[in-house]
Amino acid sequence: MESITSPKSLVEQTYEILLNAICTGELAPGERLAQDQIAAQLNVSRQPVNSAISILKANRFVEDTGRRGVIVAPVDNSLFQSIFEFRAVIEPFAVQLAGARLPNDARREAEDVVRQGRQAVETRDVRALLQADVEFHNMLYRWSGNPVIENTMRGNWHHIRRSMAEVLRDPGAAAPVWDEHAAIAEMLLDGRTEDAAALMKLHITFAYEKIRAAMSNNAPD
């Protein structure tokens, strides 16, 4: 028997919709969030919209202009480097911890996620690709048994998604990513934890190089 779960409040729903719009780039950096307009669009009053914006503000996804309302926070280019510099340490660490704490159905779960990722590559669906990427890494965070990693990275992934959405214009380029994911999972499930962690470090480095290359093509500044 499962416990009763109350439906999400309008504040939560509004927050998720706005955050998603920001992360996918639908709401561009610098764009203003007008409460009235958003409220009308979502068919709610301004009150939940106002609360949702407060949450976005606290989490630095939007900035106060001091004037009318808030704007979507800019994605400054140096953020890429910082994010991947950070992940190059955290991700292998998560793999190392996971090696000692694998759940029973780990193999099945890993195979599911990898299948989803590869399917997204096939269908060239950027949104599904990003989601599978989040899920793969999130799976490892869970396996690490360290909830701080999971919580910390939850926040970071939204920022990562914002960045990725800008450069992942060619989903075909993501094919090797999923070979790497599969190899990492395989090593981990085989008990070769150190190898898996080392490959994860490479994986993040590769991803960063790829993104940097894509960026300099898209916006050569």
15 binds a second copy (CB under 8 A): yes
The angle at the Cα of 31, spanning 216 to 67, to the nearest 5 degrees, equals 130
- Give me 85's structure tokens: 């510099």
Distance CA 46, CA 49 (A): 5
Given DNA, a second copy, none, residue 151, with its beta carbon under 5 to 8 Å by kind, binds a second copy
CA dihedral 15, 74, 67, 155 (to 10 degrees): 30
- The window from 4-12, 138-146, 163-171, 201-209 that contacts DNA (CB under 7 A) reads 4-12
Q: Which of 1, 2, 68, 105 binds DNA (CB under 7 A)?
A: 68
- Give me 111's structure tokens: 């195979």
DSSP-assigned letter for residue 52: H
Per-residue x/- track, 100-139, DNA (CB under 7 A): ----------------------------------------
Distance CA 25, CA 104 (A): 38
Which residues are at the interface with a second copy (CB under 8 A)? 4-6, 11, 15, 47, 50-52, 54-55, 58-60, 64, 66, 78-79, 82-83, 85-86, 89-90, 93, 97, 146-149, 151-152, 155-156, 159
